[in-house]
Amino acid sequence: PQQKQIEAMESSGMKLIFKSQPFLPIFTGSKVEDAENSPLQILLADTCSNGEYCSPLSYPSPLKLELVVLDGDFPPDGRENWTPAEFQKAILKERNGKRPLLTGDVNVILRDGIVMITELQFTDNSSWVRSRHFRIGVRVVPGSYDGPRIKEAMTEPFTVKDHRGELYRKHHPPYLGDEVWRLEKIGKDGAFHKKLALQHVNTVQDFLKLFEVDRHHLREILGAGMSDRMWEVTVNHAKECVLGDKIYVHRGPQCTLFLNPICQVVKIVFGDMSYDSTKELPRTQKNYVQQLVQEAYRQWDALEEAEGLFPGNIPLIPS
């Protein structure tokens, strides 16, 4: 009977559908639910059903699904059909240095034709995409299923607005691309924010890079108005930052430096020799590496970028 069920599905075709639409308006950081304050539900349905109140199809084995954010303009020309490749192309990623655009139950298992999405939030508004609208899309995780195509589902287009508190909220943990006023003790448009902006310290990443290469200068920029206690709170908050696994490469005449996103040395290569820390180097080479780090800091935008060169988490600044 299981084989017959699969064959019937192959002949009729299958699709995912949202049982109901998200309740609007949607704000960043707020739970996405339907009009009855219930979790969104995703069903597996027959492609011939209109999806309003159809019974879910029961598939013989669990299906891995992923929820994604789509551009509100998709599909083009209001088409009813699209290819998996077109769907993939319409998926939006977070803005550079920001948190993942959609958080919560973004990877779920569909069993007996239905799954509930109990936790789902947007971390960013939709004003930065051309259409100014998002859709939530759902598809079977590519490569997790070997069978006839199951058509992806998506909601109607909608806007996501900044939560009122989000406009001034501090992020825990902060992210590299966060504006520097997201750090504790630095108020938006306040004195410290303005002093940092004058020195082109605009993001948490800028703050941490300068802290790494010349923390005394960073302290001087903030001035006497920031007490030592405040400085400690700001720096400790910055140190919680999620670094990711991007690596920056700076090549000097005698050696190559590998740096993490905040200008910390994670690997040094002198000819055939490689070192994980400057502590292992003779004093003359240490001084040379320090000069190269300063050079890398000044030429940051011109450095080569690589991802995932080193396994595991690279530790942040030692206390």
Tokens describing residue 152? 């992806």
Lowest mean per-residue pLDDT among 40-44, 225-229, 276-280, 305-309: 305-309
The mean per-residue pLDDT over the stretch 80-107 comes to: 92
Is 0.75 topped by the overall pTM?
A: no
pLDDT for the residue numbered 311:
41
**Is residue 209 left, alpha or beta, with left meaning phi > 0 and alpha meaning psi from -120 to 50?**
alpha
Whole-number average pLDDT of the chain:
87
The mean per-residue pLDDT over the stretch 204-231 comes to: 96
pLDDT for the residue numbered 313:
41
In angstroms, what CA-CA distances link 14 with 46, 59, 87, 204, 313?
A: 5, 10, 16, 46, 41
How confident is the model over 224-274, as pLDDT tens digits?
Answer: 999 999 999 999 999 999 888 899 999 999 899 999 999 999 999 988 888
pLDDT for the residue numbered 307:
67
- Of the two residues 55 and 121, the one the predictor is more confident about is 121
pLDDT at residue 1 above 50? Answer: no
Q: State the CB neighbour count (10 A cutoff) for residue 36.
A: 8
In angstroms, what CA-CA distances link 126 with 29, 54, 93, 240, 255?
A: 13, 31, 12, 27, 44
pLDDT for the residue numbered 96:
86
Q: Could you state, in order of their start, the residue ranges of all structural domains in the chain? A: 2-165, 170-239, 246-307
pLDDT for the residue numbered 80:
83
pLDDT for the residue numbered 12:
46
In which band, very low, low, confident or very high, does the pLDDT at 298 lie, cut at 50, 70 and 90?
very high
pLDDT for the residue numbered 81:
86
pLDDT for the residue numbered 166:
65
As beta bridge partners, residue 67 has: 138
Strands 256-259 and 265-270: antiparallel
CATH number attached to the domain at 2-165: 2.60.40.340
pLDDT for the residue numbered 200:
96
Tokens describing residue 308? 């995932």
In which band, very low, low, confident or very high, does the pLDDT at 61 lie, cut at 50, 70 and 90?
confident
Q: Which of 312, 210, 222 is nearest to 267 (CA)?
A: 312
Q: State the CB neighbour count (10 A cutoff) for residue 184.
A: 16
In which band, very low, low, confident or very high, does the pLDDT at 84 lie, cut at 50, 70 and 90?
very high
pLDDT at residue 55 above 70? Answer: no
Q: State the CB neighbour count (10 A cutoff) for residue 169.
A: 13
pLDDT for the residue numbered 152:
95
How confident is the model over 144-192, as pLDDT tens digits?
Answer: 988 888 999 999 999 999 886 666 778 888 989 899 999 999 998 899 9
pLDDT for the residue numbered 73:
93
